[in-house]
Amino acid sequence: MQAAFEMKFAETQPVLSQDFSLTDRERQVVALVSAGFTNKDIAQKLGISKHTVKHHIANIFDKLGVFNRLELLLFALDKGLNNPELF
């Protein structure tokens, strides 16, 4: 019974071990986009330029197969990538 519970519990947890080929910085950007920050806000928080943020977001969209910030948010929520404290 315990093994069945552990298997079911494991299935419902976000897959945090998957990196989806994202760099650490891209994972930070995903979390900040998911939290509703603008590119300008993200740039200030991370100490990078807005141009670099746009570059990261374009790479993230390509790697995850999403086309806009809403799809990125939904993907991040589903996969547990939306928590900036994890990074």
Q: What angle do CA 35, 38, 41 make, to 5 degrees?
A: 95
Residue numbers of the domain that contains 27 = 22-82
Exposure string for 36-65, b = 16+ CB within 10 A, e = fewer: ebebeebbeebeeeeebbeebbebbbeebe
Question: Rounded to whole angstroms, how far apart are CA atoms 82 and 87?
Answer: 10
pLDDT of 18? 74
Count of structural domains within the chain: 1
CATH number at residue 54: 1.10.10.10
Give Cα separations from 68 to 15, 55, 84 (angstroms): 22, 14, 20
pLDDT of 14? 47
Domain assignment present for 40: yes
pLDDT of 17? 47
Kindly state the percentage of the chain with pLDDT values over 90: 69
pLDDT of 82? 86
* pLDDT beneath 70, residues of the chain: 1-17, 84-87
Contact 79, 30 (CB under 8 A): no
Domain assignment present for 13: no
